[in-house]
């Protein structure tokens, strides 16, 4: 009898497993790949060097001077991490907008207690974090250190290598469920942004174990490993800034080895958008690079680069030069928060425009905010969007290469009008350059069609390969910022005027 029962159970289990696996195979995959091979990614096929505008500057000399002044302001001027007045203004913010209150609020936002299902944080093992995980991090921060502070020149620092900036002092990722649209890998909620080597910093605090330092960068506040930064003294700052005011160079390729000319030692990799004070010779550019001694003090060394891999900023903003830069970025993997030193959407634009001496904030929404970026803002947002009307507006009123588009959580660049690959004879469509994770469905659950890299993509109201995909032209939020238009009162003199502090934005880039 028991043998019969075992046979029945075996048959039942086999039938169940067969049904389960058939059902699993038949179930639609929420992750699939966009047919990118159907969209030409050779940028010179879209933009012809024979076009009369190919070498025409997109900014006037005065506009470019203003842009450069704004960029210098964040690295070496009134809003630099090395500026005493700026630091004291940051520390003087009243509660609840002070550093201690906002950092406590940010830490508490990572709790899983009393959270809806779509706000439960998971670790790399797909299991929800316990409250003990967050308590250990909170206890290691010691929030009292952020109260009653004032500027201390001994807390000025510099990044000696490329660093992953984090919102909490931990390397552990924090994901929402992959079943929630646009969540799961690679969207680590703790990842903030990259801190490039050579970036001026101010140390706001340390963890109890001294392993992590909270630093103010020119664009955000985040936690970095203490071993990746070095202290700077007055002599270092004076020399670094003096040379930077004469010449500032940007890296124009990706993963370029930066080698110390004094001892031949590899220091770090160079990426597009990195900035260094520089001395130009007839055939090369000599970068000033920071090197740390055994006392964690920074010293200035040098690295020599061919002018093929670096340029003094601002590089003249012409379509030709944009093409030259983008050719080295097209097809590079998407990196949320610049994870693995790849770019996400906002980092892509920020790093590209830096080469042209144009400052952009870290967060995508801030990149179209006229209160934070000099430019003319146009808001085409609507709860009931008309993708065709927006397409027409871009073609008629967009400024190629100088129009940043924000669609809610994502930012892209308008680069011009081009024939629609589906009907090149009769239709002209706007072309975008962007680094993107993927497209979602118009309706449904967490389905994502992944692109996962920087691309040239025509902005269509729908894609014939998959009409169910949500078009970027049909997002509720659709904001533009023209980088080649300024308010009438902006001049190189008054751009260095008043300082605005938004600690909440700095702590949540």
Q: What pLDDT is recorded for position 501?
A: 85
* pLDDT value at 295 more than 90: yes
> CA angle at residue 215 from 214 to 216, to 5 degrees?
140
Question: In the CATH scheme, what architecture does the domain 60-231 have?
Answer: Roll (2.30)
Q: Pick the most confident of 13-17, 197-201, 369-373.
A: 197-201
Q: What pLDDT is recorded for position 282?
A: 84
Contact present, 154 and 203 (Cβ < 8 Å) = no
Q: Percent of the chain scored above 70 by pLDDT?
A: 91
Q: Percent of the chain scored above 90 by pLDDT?
A: 79
Q: Write out the H or E segment, with its range, that includes residue 65.
A: helix 61-75
Quick: pLDDT tens for 103-113.
Answer: 999 999 999 99
Quick: pLDDT tens for 316-374.
Answer: 999 999 999 999 999 999 999 999 999 999 999 999 999 999 999 999 999 999 988 98
Q: What are the two backbone dihedrals, phi and then psi, of residue 93, each rounded to the nearest 5 degrees?
A: -65, 135
| C-alpha closest to that of 175 among 371, 35, 337 | 337
Q: Whole-number mean pLDDT of the chain?
A: 91
pLDDT band at 21 (very low <50, low <70, confident <90, very high): very low
Burial of 116 by CB count in 10 Å (0-12 exposed, 13-18 middle, 19+ buried)? Answer: exposed
Quick: pLDDT tens for 453-480.
Answer: 999 999 999 998 888 899 999 999 999 9
Contact present, 127 and 165 (Cβ < 8 Å) = no
* pLDDT value at 37 more than 60: yes
Mean pLDDT of all residues in 209-214: 98
User: Can you spell out the DSSP letters for 388-411?
Assistant: HHHHHHHHHH--TTTEEEE-SS-E
The model carries a pTM of 0.92
Question: In the CATH scheme, what architecture does the domain 32-59+372-507 have?
Answer: Alpha-Beta Complex (3.90)
Please give the structure tokens belonging to residue 455: 């691309």
Give every strand in the sheet of 163-166, ordered side by side. Answer: 191-195, 163-166, 221-225, 212-216, 200-206, 156-159, 229-231
Mean pLDDT of all residues in 23-52: 78
Please give the structure tokens belonging to residue 486: 């300024």
Mean pLDDT of all residues in 23-29: 47
For the chain, the domains span 2-29, 32-59+372-507, 60-231
Domains 32-59+372-507 and 60-231 are alike in CATH topology: no
Q: Between these two residues, 32 and 84, which has the higher pLDDT value?
A: 84
Q: What pLDDT is recorded for position 164?
A: 98
Helices (H), 76-195: 84-91, 99-108, 131-141
Judge if the upstream peptide bond of residue 96 is cis by omega within 30 degrees of 0: yes
Quick: pLDDT tens for 404-461.
Answer: 999 999 999 999 998 866 666 558 899 999 999 999 887 765 678 999 999 999 999 9
Q: CA 19 → CA 5, 8, 311, distances in Å?
A: 21, 16, 62
């Amino acid at each position: 009898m028991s043998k019969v029962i075992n046979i029945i159970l075996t048959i039942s289990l086999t039938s169940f497993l067969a049904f389960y696996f058939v059902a699993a195979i038949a179930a639609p995959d929420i992750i699939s790949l966009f047919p990118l091979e159907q969209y030409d990614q050779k940028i010179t096929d879209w933009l012809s060097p024979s076009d009369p505008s190919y070498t025409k500057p997109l900014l006037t000399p005065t506009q470019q001077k203003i842009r450069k002044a704004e960029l210098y302001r964040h690295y070496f001027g009134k809003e630099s991490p090395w500026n005493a007045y700026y630091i004291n203004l940051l520390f003087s913010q009243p509660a609840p907008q002070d550093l201690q209150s906002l950092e406590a609020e940010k830490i508490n936002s990572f709790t899983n207690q009393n959270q809806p299902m779509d706000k439960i944080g998971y670790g790399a093992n797909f299991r929800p974090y316990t409250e003990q995980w967050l308590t250990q991090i909170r206890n290691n921060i010691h929030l009292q250190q952020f109260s009653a502070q004032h500027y201390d020149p001994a807390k000025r620092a510099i990044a000696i290598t490329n660093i992953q900036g984090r919102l909490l002092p931990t390397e552990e990722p924090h994901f929402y469920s992959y079943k929630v649209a646009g969540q799961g890998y690679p969207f680590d909620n703790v990842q903030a942004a990259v801190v490039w080597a050579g970036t001026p910093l101010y140390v706001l605090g340390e963890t109890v174990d001294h392993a992590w330092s909270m630093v103010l960068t020119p664009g955000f506040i985040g936690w970095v490993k203490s071993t990746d930064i070095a202290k700077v003294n007055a002599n270092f700052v004076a020399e670094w800034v003096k040379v930077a005011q004469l010449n500032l160079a940007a890296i124009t390729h990706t993963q370029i080895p930066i080698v110390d000319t004094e001892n031949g030692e590899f220091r770090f990799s160079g990426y597009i958008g990195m900035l260094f004070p520089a001395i130009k010779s007839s055939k090369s550019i000599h970068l000033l690079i920071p090197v740390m001694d055994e006392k964690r003090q920074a010293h200035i060394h040098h690295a020599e680069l061919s002018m093929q891999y670096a340029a003094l900023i601002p590089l003249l903003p012409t379509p030709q030069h944009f093409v030259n830069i983008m050719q080295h970025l097209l097809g590079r993997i998407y990196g949320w928060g610049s994870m693995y030193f790849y770019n996400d959407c906002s980092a892509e634009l920020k790093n590209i425009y830096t080469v042209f001496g144009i400052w952009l904030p870290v967060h995508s929404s801030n990149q179209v905010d006229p209160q934070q970026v000099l430019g003319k803002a146009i808001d085409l947002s609507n709860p009931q969007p008309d993708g065709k009307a927006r397409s027409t507006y871009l073609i008629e009123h967009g400024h190629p290469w100088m129009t940043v588009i924000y669609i809610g959580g994502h930012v892209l660049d308008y680069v011009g009008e081009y024939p629609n690959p589906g009907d090149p004879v009769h239709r002209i469509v706007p072309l975008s350059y962007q680094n993107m994770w993927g497209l979602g469905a118009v309706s449904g659950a967490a389905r994502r069609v992944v692109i996962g890299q920087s691309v040239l993509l025509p902005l269509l109201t729908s894609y014939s390969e998959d009409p169910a995909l949500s078009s970027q032209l049909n997002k509720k939020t659709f904001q533009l910022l023209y980088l080649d238009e300024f308010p009438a009162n902006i001049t190189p003199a008054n751009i260095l005027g008043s300082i605005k502090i938004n600690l909440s934005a700095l702590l949540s880039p």
